Amino acid sequence: MVKKTLIKNLLVTSALSLSLVSGLSAADEQKYIIATASTGGTYYPVGVGIATIASIKLAKKYNITFSAMTSAGSNENIDMMEKGEVKFAILQGLFGSMAWQGTGAYEGKPKKNLRSVSMLWQNVEHFTVYKKYAKTGNIMDMKNLYGEGFSIGARNSGTRVSNETMLSSLGIDYNKMDIRYLAYVPSSNALQDGKIQGFGIPGGSPVGAVTNAFATIGAKNIKVLDFNADDLKKISDNYPVWTPFTVKAGTYPGQETDIHTIAQPNLLVVTEDTPEETVYLLTKTIYENLPFLQSVHKATLAMSLQKAIDGLPMPLHPGAARYYKEMGIKIPARLIAN
């Protein structure tokens, strides 16, 4: 309830900030959309937070405003950027890597129009199942869901592709499950209603949809599966974007022990044709107002200027690179756009 109220207040604040430039002509005003994901995860509230603070800080002086929109996630976001429907989006590190290299979901079709702005926070994997299927507590218990309902993510989402990538790398045949293509909140509701026996939800912990499942079903009845070093190696042999991640006890209602899972970076990206000054001002605004973003979602507590370019799979936009150089960040050659 507190989180929903905060997001509602942010949306109101964003609307008020847009009114600051309502008297400007269309030619003077620059409006940008940040594509995020579904409302039950982390992308949307953080996207709303970035759009809100950027509009507040940039509307009056620079006539630049931002708004956040929901989407199916990384896959749809890349598609919208390619079509010119949005300039900014939040992506999973896996999708950023695939898109830039032209591999996986983008085999032979590299998206060279994309540029990095910043690493944001880590997307923590939450493969959550009813405890009767968690015989060992390890991710390989997913094989116990063969024939059972499992939500792998919305059809056009990054969640679906990353879940399929991880499970396939581990030799887990998700096609043997009764696969449902549900977004975060519907996945959580379906688990609570017993319509599915598990879901795979990535996000900055705590993830709202996972919290709701724990609060309603109870920690004694569901389990977030662990990954070990061998599991991580098998996945990393295909896409080396994941690292170990510990979800501390108490993160979710009734969670008494640490969860040893894995995570991949999330990043803010932009199209290469977006004005340098716009990207510079947005990057500067984000890092000069981190306390605000950190009040929006705990996942952003991991953000810092020192980590801003960690794990980026594609070159920086010149506007972002300019800000980092001003702040004394050494940029490796691979992140400098030609």
Long-range contacts of 94-103 (CB under 8 A, 24+ apart): 94/158, 94/161, 94/162, 94/165, 94/239, 94/241, 94/264, 95/158, 95/161, 95/162, 96/267, 96/269, 96/312, 96/313, 96/314, 97/239, 97/241, 97/313, 98/161, 98/239, 99/314, 100/313, 100/314, 101/313
Return the closest-CA partner of residue 182 out of 196, 167, 169, 193.
196
Query: What pLDDT does 66 receive?
Result: 98
Does 144 or 298 have the greater pLDDT score?
144
Over the stretch 220-262, which tens digit does the pLDDT of each residue have?
999 999 999 999 999 988 788 898 999 999 999 999 999 999 9
Residues 192, 212: Cα–Cα separation, whole Å = 9
Least confident range of 43-52, 176-185, 303-312: 303-312
pLDDT over 70 at 196, yes or no: yes
Strand-pairing partners, residue 126, are 201
Query: What pLDDT does 302 receive?
Result: 86
**Mean pLDDT for the chain overall:** 91
All residues at 6 or more sequence positions from 188 whose CB lies less than 8 Å from its CB, including other chains: 40, 199, 201, 209, 210, 212, 213
Residues 34, 47: Cα–Cα separation, whole Å = 7
Strand-pairing partners, residue 151, are 180, 199
**Percent over 90 (pLDDT), the chain:** 81
Given the structure tokens 């989402």, which residue do they identify? 157
Over the stretch 89-102, which tens digit does the pLDDT of each residue have?
999 999 999 999 99
The H or E element spanning position 271 is strand 259-271
Query: What pLDDT does 23 receive?
Result: 46
Question: At the top level of CATH, which class does the domain 124-262 belong to?
Answer: alpha beta
Say whether 124-262 and 2-122+265-335 share the same fold.
Answer: yes
Query: What pLDDT does 213 receive?
Result: 98
* Main-chain phi, psi angles of 87, to 5 degrees: -100, -30
List the domain boundaries for the chain: 2-122+265-335, 124-262
Confidence band of 17 (pLDDT split at 50, 70, 90): very low
Superfamily of the domain at 2-122+265-335:
Periplasmic binding protein-like II (3.40.190.10)
pTM listed for this prediction: 0.78
CA atoms within 13 A on the CB side of 122: 19
Across the chain, how many H-helices and E-strands are there?
A: 11, 10
Residues 240, 325: Cα–Cα separation, whole Å = 27
Over the stretch 308-326, which tens digit does the pLDDT of each residue have?
999 899 999 999 999 999 9
